[in-house]
Amino acid sequence: MCAVAIRGWLEDVNISAPRPAPQPPLTHSNDPGVPVGPVLRASALTKTYGVAHAQTHALTGVDLAVGAGESIAIMGHSGSGKTTLLHVLAGVLAPTSGTVTWRGRDLAAMSDADRTKLRRSEFGFVFQSGQLLPELPALENAALPLLLAGIDRSLAMQLARDQLGRLGLAGLEQRRPGELSGGQAQRVAIARALVSDPEVIFADEPTGALDQATGWEVMRALKESAYICGAALVVVTHNPEVAHWCARTITMADGRITHVATQQPSTPELHLVPPPPPPMPNVFGGVSGAAR
Amino acid sequence: MSATQLWLLLRRHASHDRSTSARFTAVLAVIAFAATSAVSLVVVGGLMAFIGRWQAGLKVGDIDPMFYVMLAGFAVLLLLVPLTTLGAAAARLAMARRDARLAALRLAGATTWQVSVITLLDAGLQALVGSLIGVAGYLAVLPIVAQLSFQGRQLSLAELWVGFPLLAATVAAVAAVGVLSAAASLQRVRITPLGVAARVSPPKLSIFRVTGLLVAAAGAYLSVHLMGSLAGLFVVLVFGGFVAIGMAVLNLIGPLVLQVIGRITAGNARSAATLLAGRRIADNPKAAWRSVGGVAIAAFIAGLTSLIGLFADSPHPNNSDQVLITDLTTGGLLTLIIAGVLAAVSTGVMQAGRLIDQRQEYRNLVLAGSDTRTLDRARLRETSIPLIAALGTATASVLVVMVPVIGATAFTAPQVVLLYLGSIAVTAAMVMAGVAATGFVARGLTADLAR
């Protein structure tokens, strides 16, 4: 379930501009290499760490557009700048020069509070590990972004429960992260990333701590969920098999994009048969994100 | 390379370790060890002042000066709980970071002997630095403590001075706590270096029992040698037994009550901050109780001694009774304030320690758009909820015990009640300030995200 119905709640605490007309997921367009209606655009990004005599150039002139519903893998060796790029795109780090725009609005021009709200309501995050609070059960971990956004508790819990159910975690709602397997914990993290109906999901090595089979299941769940919600997916990975799930793969080296590859949805994605979006509960009305 | 050389090499590199968690862990552990030493010395100094007066035969009216020694000893026993809590918090904090490093050393091929020497030297140094700063703190606050009056006479610096042997003994005892805690973590690494590296905690060796034994032995030694007879030991044993039973009962009930409060809070939470606070209290009620238990007990005792002050306004008090009642009130409130200081430091250190332990989760939450003010509020509520419960229960208990005895007198002398309530408010404010100070740690852990 993609919680379009909570949009009204979120808009009370949201800074976002009006949303454009719904776009189908890019992976299902005829040309998966061309972003349709970029939601996020990075232009001439540079990012430099350190002082004059010991500077590290993490990004050197990166341009990137993330289309609505598109899936992008960012690959590269350690230190190539891929995580820095993800952080800059998400408004966590400020670029040294260049701009990142969200639906035409320059992130640098937003206040820190507005960027925080943007990350909370429009972006979802999945990390390699360390994202679930050990003292909260799975359900409350998944509902946390909604609670932080001031959503009514019962609604937040219902949306989180639905999201967990969709990810095959029904019955595990009251388990603590320590009582879940690595794959289950990552799926809780995916539920949390999706629960506030984000437009973009950022995933930093989401399968890095998992074995191959579990990693495949987690990627499948992530891709499937992003598809159903119509959310764009930006995955940082060093694993080509993970990258293969995405329509576009950009390879980075020394802070630059050195290669861009697009793939037809004929790889593992073809085997992904997303279930039809479940009907929304009457209480919310609305439709699923896949159709937005 | 010998173990000592290896330690010196690691120390040299550690001094260049500018990572936030490393800096905070070291500073917080030293602060906690320093506060433990300083407060211990002030408390022992106070006890020695009364022992000195007793030995000098100073009397007020017909009140046996031994009575004052007993009361001071009782206050010391009351403060043992928050003091031990603070020492334990310091030890835990030091352990948290050491575990990972020890495991890495073992996995890299360091021998058990090398790891043991490095650990003990490291821990001893940290505790030693803390206790030496604590000695400086003790010397700094002596003139302030010397402003207090008991038995109709102002305390003098000479009376409060513990002497060099006790000073050295305190430094050694605090260093011993640090070394013992390190020995405990060493035990865990020796058993399973991989387990520690993977952040899997096997059952911990309880070093605090050993610390308790050390404290009991020190108490027995002090009581026999300072008071010059076995009578002192007897007094300590009787009071110690009484306090120990009381504490044991409270330590059983307190966490249980807080767990229920935590669950109710989380169950009814309407905001993320309250939900987090409730879950954390319910998840580890013992830690919540450790933060506020000592203050609650001190608040109860201070309440009793304060309300005894109501008798000071009775129509025919003779002079010595008046002095005793005033001293009881002062002593009770002083105990409460000292317990508050200890609770403030230990709560701050414990919360900061957990923040450092969970720094990855905390950073990820902030990265994902969590408002840091909400996370700050969660930390404050995590302490304020048990604090209000504990202080409220203590105050209500005082009223239940004392109002039937005193009756309407309480309303004719509101200044006594107001003084007590004011002290409670000051104590609570100190504890909350201790928690609020952890905001610096939280900001430090995420400072690089904004750059």
Whether residue B276 is found in the same domain as residue B406: yes
Whether residue B239 is found in the same domain as residue B363: yes
Which residues, 6+ apart, have CB-to-CB distance to A36 below 8 Å?
A23, A24, A26, A29, A67, A68, A69, A70
Task: List the 59-98 stretch of A: residues with Cβ below 8 A of B.
Answer: 87, 90, 92-94
Answer whether residue A60 shows pLDDT above 80.
yes
Residue A57: strand, helix, or coil: strand
Whether residue B39 is found in the same domain as residue B53: yes
Answer whether residue A33 shows pLDDT above 60.
no
The shortest C-alpha distance from B214 to chain A (Å) reads 34
Helices B438-450, B359-367: crossing angle, 10 deg rounding: 60
Residue spans of beta strands (DSSP E) within B20-95: none
Which residue, chain included where needed, has tokens 């950022």? Answer: A202
The values of phi and psi at residue A76, to 5°, are 155, 165
A132, A185 contact by CB (below 8 A):
yes
Per-residue pLDDT of chain B in tens (451 residues, 90 and over written 9): 676 777 677 666 665 555 556 667 778 888 888 988 998 899 889 988 988 888 888 777 777 778 888 888 878 877 777 777 777 777 667 665 566 666 677 767 777 777 778 777 877 888 899 999 999 999 999 999 999 888 888 889 999 999 999 899 989 888 887 787 777 666 655 544 454 444 444 344 444 555 555 666 666 666 656 555 566 666 666 666 766 676 677 778 888 989 999 999 999 998 889 999 999 899 888 888 877 887 888 888 788 777 776 665 555 556 777 788 888 888 888 888 888 888 888 888 888 887 887 788 888 888 878 888 888 899 899 999 999 988 888 888 877 776 676 666 666 667 777 888 888 899 899 999 988 888 888 888 877 665 5
Last residue of one domain, picked from the residues B177, B210, B228: B228
Quote the pLDDT of residue B439.
Answer: 86
Residue A71 pairs in a beta bridge with A233
Q: Do B275 and A147 touch (CB under 8 A)?
A: yes
Best-predicted range by mean pLDDT (A261-270, A278-287, B244-253, B258-267): B258-267
Question: CA–CA distance from A277 to each of A134, A160, A166, A254, B53 (Å)?
Answer: 31, 16, 10, 41, 83
Extract the tokens encoding A209: 């701590």
What number of other Cβ atoms are within 10 A of residue A137's Cβ? 21
Whether residue B323 is found in the same domain as residue B405: yes
Report chain B residues whose CB lies below 8 A from the CB of A144. 272, 365, 370
The values of phi and psi at residue A87, to 5°, are -65, -35
B365 to chain A: nearest residue by CA? Answer: A131
Report chain B residues whose CB lies below 8 A from the CB of A127. 364
End-to-end CA distance of chain B: 41
Extract the tokens encoding B165: 């042997």
The shortest C-alpha distance from A224 to chain B (Å) reads 21
A45, A85 contact by CB (below 8 A):
yes
> If pLDDT is split at 50, 70 and 90, which confidence band does A31 have?
very low
Quote the pLDDT of residue B14.
Answer: 62
The shortest C-alpha distance from A262 to chain B (Å) reads 28
Residue among B27, B51, B44, B295 at smallest CA distance from B173:
B44
Residue A38: strand, helix, or coil: strand
Last residue of one domain, picked from the residues B197, B228, B259: B228
- Tell me chain B's radius of gyration from C-alpha atoms: 23
Residue among A147, A158, A142, A236 at smallest CA distance from A194:
A142
Last residue of one domain, picked from the residues B202, B228, B254: B228
Whether residue B174 is found in the same domain as residue B115: yes
> If pLDDT is split at 50, 70 and 90, which confidence band does A12 have?
very low
Whether residue B306 is found in the same domain as residue B419: yes
Of A22-31, A131-140, B154-163, B208-217, least confident by mean pLDDT is A22-31
Question: CA–CA distance from A120 to each of A51, A192, A194, B368 (Å)?
Answer: 32, 11, 11, 6
What number of other Cβ atoms are within 10 A of residue B375's Cβ? 21
pLDDT digits (tens, 9 = 90+) for B125-173: 888 999 999 999 999 999 999 998 888 888 899 999 999 998 999 898 8
Q: State the ipTM, two decimals.
A: 0.71
What is the number of alpha carbons within 13 Å of residue B349 lying toward its C-beta?
A: 32
Q: Quick one: average pLDDT of A47-69? A: 86
Whether residue B183 is found in the same domain as residue B239: no
Left if phi > 0, otherwise alpha if psi is -120 to 50, otherwise beta: which for A234?
Answer: beta
> If pLDDT is split at 50, 70 and 90, which confidence band does A27 have?
very low
Question: What is the residue range of B246's domain?
Answer: 230-451
% helix, strand, coil for chain B, step of 5? 85, 0, 15
Quote the pLDDT of residue A63.
Answer: 93
What number of other Cβ atoms are within 10 A of residue A262's Cβ? 14
Quote the pLDDT of residue B1.
Answer: 62
Q: Which residue type sits at A148?
A: L
Whether residue B165 is found in the same domain as residue B255: no
DSSP annotation of A4 reads G
CB contact, 8 Å: B200 with chain A? no
Give A156 or B359, the one with higher predicted confidence. A156
Report chain A residues whose CB lies below 8 A from the CB of B284. 135
- Tell me chain A's radius of gyration from C-alpha atoms: 18
Whether residue B45 is found in the same domain as residue B191: yes
Which residue, chain included where needed, has tokens 């937003």? Answer: A110
pLDDT digits (tens, 9 = 90+) for B97-133: 566 666 677 767 777 777 778 777 877 888 899 999 9
List the alpha helices (DSSP H) in B269-318. 272-283, 285-308
Whether residue B66 is found in the same domain as residue B199: yes
Q: Do B283 and A140 touch (CB under 8 A)?
A: no
Extract the tokens encoding A226: 């992003």
Whether residue B224 is found in the same domain as residue B235: no
> If pLDDT is split at 50, 70 and 90, which confidence band does A95 have?
very high
Report chain B residues whose CB lies below 8 A from the CB of A119. 367-369
Q: Do B276 and A120 touch (CB under 8 A)?
A: no
Which residues, 6+ apart, have CB-to-CB distance to B231 below 8 Å?
none
A14, A77 contact by CB (below 8 A):
no
Quote the pLDDT of residue B68.
Answer: 85
How many domains does chain B divide into?
Answer: 2
Residue among A28, A67, A64, A24 at smallest CA distance from A264:
A28
Task: List the 241-300 stretch of B: residues with Cβ below 8 A of A.
Answer: 269-272, 275-276, 279-280, 283-284
CB contact, 8 Å: B361 with chain A? yes
CA dihedral A179, A182, A184, A185 (to 10 degrees): 80
> If pLDDT is split at 50, 70 and 90, which confidence band does A100 have?
very high
Which residue, chain included where needed, has tokens 């408010």? Answer: B425
Whether residue B364 is found in the same domain as residue B238: yes
Name all domains of chain A by residue range, CATH numbers in brackets: 4-14+40-50+58-272 (3.40.50.300)
Q: Do B272 and A147 touch (CB under 8 A)?
A: yes
Best-predicted range by mean pLDDT (A38-47, A210-219, B336-345, B407-416): A38-47
